[in-house]
Every structure is written in C-alpha cells, then in structure tokens.
A and B are shown apart, each in its own frame.
Chain A
C-alpha cells in the first residue's frame, strides 16, 4: 500500500518542474487506480525503485505539451532528442525529490526515457498503479506510480 506522503513526494517533484522551469504551475486531476499496464503518451521518463518499495514511477507526456513547455523555457530546438531530454529532466527531478525525502530506504535508479508507439514500459503483472493526471495549460500528462 502506498502512503500519502510517498505519493506527495512524487507529485511535488513533477509539479515543481512546471512551476520553476516554465514559471507556470500545473494542476492535478483526480487520481485513480488502474489494474494492468497504463497507456503512455509519446514520451515517458521512468525511474525504477527498489528497497523499501519495489516498482516504477514514470512521467508520460504528449509531444504537444512538451513542445509548449520547451517554448516556455525559451528553447528553440523541438527535435525528438530534445523531447527525450525534457522528459528525462522531469524524471530526474522526481528522482531527486524522492532521494531527498526517502533517503536510503529507497534505491532509486538513474532515469531512463522511452518514446515511440507502444514502448515497453516495465510493469509487474497484477500490480495496480496510481495514475495522477498532470494538467498544464490545455494539455494533460500522467504521473504513474506503480509500487508494491
């Protein structure tokens, strides 16, 4: 079972990126539980967690949202590599927050990035996931927390 404080750490890592890097805060949609592998958008930044908890946490976003986010960051390169770079940075921020808040109870991987149609997102069979919609401007991404 996930504790509220643990979820809060992952959510704050995500929203903090929008608030600081883009100078425009994101809002949260209604979280929900999902059985099975969650659908992902075009770009996904993944961190793997072991130790006190086991599983994955990932931020997945559509290209349109990342494009606007890059514009807000004064970036003018909107290439595939830059999109991958950006979701990697968001995942990096989530990872850094978790390391700060959870300490050595959690072993947190360096973020990896997935892209393209139907990427192979790591998911343990039978594992339920918390899905937290991250809304920013007119776009919506997802934070997926899948830990046991």
Chain B
C-alpha cells in the first residue's frame, strides 16, 4: 500500500489574525504547518530548519517584504511552491511576484473555500 505523501506548510504574514486564519482554515490532513513567520527576515531564518514544500506569503511586511523573500526562498529551494496571499490587487504586483518565483496568487480578503482551492492547486504541483 502506498503511503500518501505529507506536505509541509510555512505561513508568512505580518498579521497574527491572518496567520491563525490560514492555519485554522486549511483543511488538508496531509498538510502539516511547520512554521509561521511575521516578515521576510523571520521566514528566511525559519526556512532551512522547517524545509516546507508549500509557503503562503504576504507581500506588505516590515523588514523584508514578500517580493524579496520569494526570490530568496526560491534560490534556496527551487522546488518550493509559493502562494502569495495579499490585499495588493493590482496586476503589476501579481506579475512581479510570479516573476520572482511565486506559483499562485490569492487576494485578501478570502473565503475558506478560496484558500483551500489555492493550496490544493499548489500541492498538486509540489
């Protein structure tokens, strides 16, 4: 019998509410939250130790924003899959995030269903 692969998720957002919301709302038994970070610097510090397969990434954060952090995480682990979750709804921002290596974009605010569909899409590609 084949064991289902377990995925590891890291959540990066400067809002405590959003970090808890994402952690609480994701409904995948095979997805384990391995760490949360409040900005890009914390995310980088945590990344090597947590070794996530999937990352949710806010963009507007203090110290190091999400755009810069995406590039750095992808340089460390090209196979990581990154879902941007941001209120920045303009096309130019989404394109920039994708060019840095993000794999999906979800606008805030979001419903549980939208979040789970977006994460499922990334897990399929991880």
Contact = CB atoms under 8 A, between A and B. Distances in A.
Interface of A: 16-17, 20-21, 23, 70, 73-75, 77, 81-82, 85-86, 88-89, 92-93, 95-97, 99-100, 103, 110
B87 A75 contact: no
Nearest to A81: B16
B109 A21 contact: yes
A70 B18 CA distance: 11
Interface in B1-58: 15-18, 20-21, 24
Nearest to B65: A110
A96 B108 contact: yes
Nearest to B60: A110
Contacts of A73: 17, 21
- Among all A-B residue pairs, the 8 with the closest Cβ atoms: A96-B87, A100-B89, A20-B109, A21-B109, A92-B87, A96-B89, A100-B90, A99-B90
Interface string B73-84: 000000000000
A96 B88 contact: yes
A79 to B, nearest CB: 9
Contact of A86 (B17, B60, B88, B89): B17
Contacts of B111: 20, 23
A16 B109 contact: yes
Chain A interface, >50% SS class: helix
B107 interface: yes
A96 B93 CA distance: 10
Given A73-B21, A85-B15, A99-B93, 15 more contacts: A20-B110, A21-B109, A74-B24, A77-B20, A81-B16, A86-B17, A89-B108, A89-B109, A92-B60, A92-B108, A93-B87, A93-B108, A93-B109, A95-B88, A100-B91
B88 to A, nearest CB: 5
30 contacts: A16-B109, A17-B109, A20-B109, A20-B110, A21-B109, A70-B17, A73-B17, A74-B21, A75-B17, A75-B20, A75-B21, A77-B20, A81-B16, A85-B17, A89-B15, A89-B17, A89-B18, A89-B108, A89-B109, A92-B87, A92-B108, A93-B108, A93-B109, A95-B88, A96-B87, A96-B88, A96-B90, A96-B108, A99-B90, A100-B88
Interface in B78-126: 86-91, 93, 107-111
Contact of B16 (A21, A85, A95, A110): A85
A98 B87 CA distance: 10
